[in-house]
Amino acid sequence: MTDTAIAASALGKRFGRRGGWALRDCTVRLPAGRVCAVVGPNGAGKSTLLALAAGLLGATEGELTVLGTTPAEARTRIGYVAQDKPLYPQLTVAETLRMGADLNPGRWDAAAAERIVSAGDLNPGSRVRALSGGQRTRVALALALGKRPELLLLDEPMADLDPLARHELMGVLMVQAAQHGTTIAMSSHVVAELEDSCDHLLLIGGGRVRLAGEIDDLLAAHTRVAADADADLAPHTVVESRTTGRQLSALIRPAGPLPADWRTATPSLEELVLGHLRNPGAPALTPDSASASAPDSASASTEETVA
């Protein structure tokens, strides 16, 4: 067993020889057993990263290790649900689950898959083509979880669910993660939907990693400050700053103690994400970059992540 679910170094994917880069220079490490939110605007490269990890695409450059081996070798231990929840429309719900059993011999947990489906009040005899978006998501999740994956990759899993179903299915995922130690990586462009359930964050913008790490560590590394307009923010790393009248408000990564007359607050996850997305020039904060730029403060947090 390995304690790393996904390790990527300088990973890049370009579609076509002259196409643009969907993902570039992506170096991340997702520890096993975490629930990781992969966040970023549409077209940021989230889906590409998940498809690479699922062994559906070949990387153009860089290295990618999943569950201690190549994505293709780890295929039987990975569950993947694509954004549009593809299922065979002509099969019934029950047939879809039977297919899952037949295509994953030796791994299939029929009881778990049926539990997820029956919780949704789904008739096993209904054809998949007759299901609503939320019901399809439920069947797709049942198919992915029935495989008893060690790593579950979910691309925008909750996008077409009503709040009730979203809450309920998120609960199913959290139980799975807690009971079986399943590592879950799920992408979303809605931060709020992930804040309560995820403990790890990967923020991708413009095909590059902007933020990576435990959410608590990331929040602790940032501070919202309000100060006089002429205050000098150096030597702290400024993610975003705005001056309104005589007031300066900023999101910073403190490099040391802050002056006593600055009012400080812990940012919310959403503020953190939006601050970084609005300011593409802000330096990235990942465990690797932290150890390079600020050795004294980062070595502690890096070790924390590894342990």
- Chain residues that interact with other proteins, rule: CB under 8 A: 1, 3, 32-33, 51, 54-59, 70-72, 75-76, 78-80, 82, 84, 86-88, 90-91, 95, 99-100, 102-109, 143-144, 147-148, 150, 180-183
CB of 270 to other proteins, least distance (A): 30
Residue keyed to tokens 């980062």: 298
Residue closer to other proteins by CB (options 36, 57) is 57
CB of 263 to other proteins, least distance (A): 43
CB of 286 to other proteins, least distance (A): 24
Q: How far apart are CA 267 and CA 285, in angstroms?
A: 15
**Cα Dmax for the chain:** 69
Q: How far apart are CA 118 and CA 114, in angstroms?
A: 6
Residue closer to other proteins by CB (options 73, 162) is 73
Residue closer to other proteins by CB (options 99, 219) is 99
CB of 55 to other proteins, least distance (A): 4
Residue closer to other proteins by CB (options 150, 193) is 150
Q: How far apart are CA 124 and CA 139, in angstroms?
A: 10
C-beta neighbour count of 201 within 10 angstroms? 26
Instruction: Label the pairing between strands 237-244 and 247-253.
Output: antiparallel
CB of 60 to other proteins, least distance (A): 9
Residue closer to other proteins by CB (options 78, 252) is 78
CB of 160 to other proteins, least distance (A): 15
Q: If you compute the radius of gyration of the chain from its CA atoms, what whole number of angstroms results?
A: 21
For every residue of 264-284, DSSP letters joined together read EEPPPHHHHHHHHHH-TTSPP
Residue closer to other proteins by CB (options 42, 90) is 90
Q: CA of 292: how far to CAs of 64, 169, 202, 240, 252, in Å?
A: 22, 39, 19, 21, 18
